Amino acid sequence: MGVTQTQRKIRDLSLQNWDHVSVQTAYEMHCNNQGRIVDVRHPREIEDSPPAAGAVFLPLYILRGFLGEPARAEEDEAPLATIVSTMPSHLGMLNLFAAHRLRLLCLCRTGRDSLEAVRLLHLLGYQNASSVAGGMEAWAAANLPVARNN
């Protein structure tokens, strides 16, 4: 059994090589229409901590599913039908952001999973992605706006 091109790319990519931006820079880019905050947290994490104001939601397990990668043990395995049915809307959103040359500013809880999201986005062809350093913990510590429940 040979190694696929995607598997080779995955093996060759190091998470330390991805671009990082501070929460303040991410907020400014978002406000100035230079970027879009992409919250990659699991839905359970969002129940505990609201997303950044204006963020779009694209869970990391959905990105993994797009590439056929298995979910981690702590994640619920999304049914294939769910991943396939949401793919057009998620990819359409990413394509719209890319067409407008918006940087995808990946945000998670601490900054670790956002690095993984950037790696997956690069494999999907979205080269204009950055990890927001420190994640929502840093966002909250900087007192940046979060979405309000109505």
Task: Taking residues 139-147, report their average pLDDT.
Answer: 95
- So where are the chain's domains? 17-125+133-141
In sequence order, what are the beta bridge partners of 139?
none
Query: Which CATH architecture best describes the domain 17-125+133-141?
Result: 3-Layer(aba) Sandwich (3.40)
Give the whole-angstrom CA distance, residue 80 versus residue 74. Answer: 18
pLDDT digit string (tens) for 33-45? Answer: 999 999 999 888 8
In sequence order, what are the beta bridge partners of 110?
none
**Residue found under tokens 């999304």:** 78
pLDDT digit string (tens) for 46-57? Answer: 888 889 999 998
Give the whole-angstrom CA distance, residue 142 versus residue 6. Answer: 37
pLDDT digit string (tens) for 96-133? Answer: 887 778 899 999 999 899 999 999 999 888 889 999 99
Banded model confidence at residue 18, pLDDT cuts 50, 70, 90:
low
pTM higher than 0.85, yes or no?
no
